[in-house]
Amino acid sequence: MNFTSPRRLPWLLLISALVMLTDHLSKTWVTTHIHLGGAIPILPGILRITHWTNEGAAFSLFANSASPDMVRWGLIGFSLLAALVVFVAMFRLGSRFTLTTVALALIFGGALGNVHDRIAYGSVVDFIEVHIFRYHWPDFNVADSAIVTGACLLLLDSLWPKDEDEGDEEEDDEEEED
């Protein structure tokens, strides 16, 4: 069996690391410059930078649970399992840059960014608040944005028509290596 590690995996991991770094730096800036519950208007009536913590899942789901420690460790366990599955998929598909592999790198970085906060601080800092007309989107952060962007890219890629020659290109790449 001729096994070579995926050539693009380091670059995909770099994308994940940049997501994690950007997420961490932005949350650090918010926590040091905006008091909890405070906000800085960016586009009045549309976009504010806020400072909230979220002990629950997306949209503060389970945040008011009677067992907050169980929720925290359940979310950590689920996030780590999901990150492992995404990493394995990224490793298996990581020989080329595709919409799928970039999406997986975004999801991986976002998942690890939020799980880091849950382990280290017990909650996640959310700070981007968006209002569109009368609709208020729940506050979110860079990691959440990366996860959602990655999921949208996966959906887009699944709807995109596939070329029948795509598999042949992969075989050609492998033959060039020999």
Does residue 177 lie in a domain region?
no
Q: What is the pLDDT of residue 46?
A: 94
> 23: domain range?
9-161
pTM across the whole model: 0.82
Catalytic residues: 126, 144
Q: What is the pLDDT of residue 62?
A: 56
Query: In total, how many domains does the chain have?
Result: 1
Q: What is the pLDDT along the chain (178 residues), one digit of tens a residue?
A: 555 556 888 999 999 999 999 999 999 999 999 999 999 999 999 999 999 998 766 655 555 565 667 777 888 899 999 999 999 999 998 788 899 999 999 999 999 999 999 999 988 999 999 999 889 988 999 999 999 999 999 999 999 887 765 554 454 454 444 4
Give 120: exposed, middle or buried? Use CB within 10 Å, 0-12, 13-18, 19+: exposed
Does residue 47 lie in a domain region?
yes
Does residue 137 lie in a domain region?
yes
Does residue 123 lie in a domain region?
yes
Does residue 106 lie in a domain region?
yes
- C-alpha torsion angle, residues 132, 106, 23, 37 (rounded to 10): 30
Q: How far apart are CA 58 and CA 144, in angstroms?
A: 8
Count other C-beta atoms under 10 Å from residue 21's C-beta: 13
Q: What is the pLDDT of residue 80?
A: 95
Structure-token pair, residue 70: 């169980």
Q: What is the pLDDT of residue 163?
A: 73
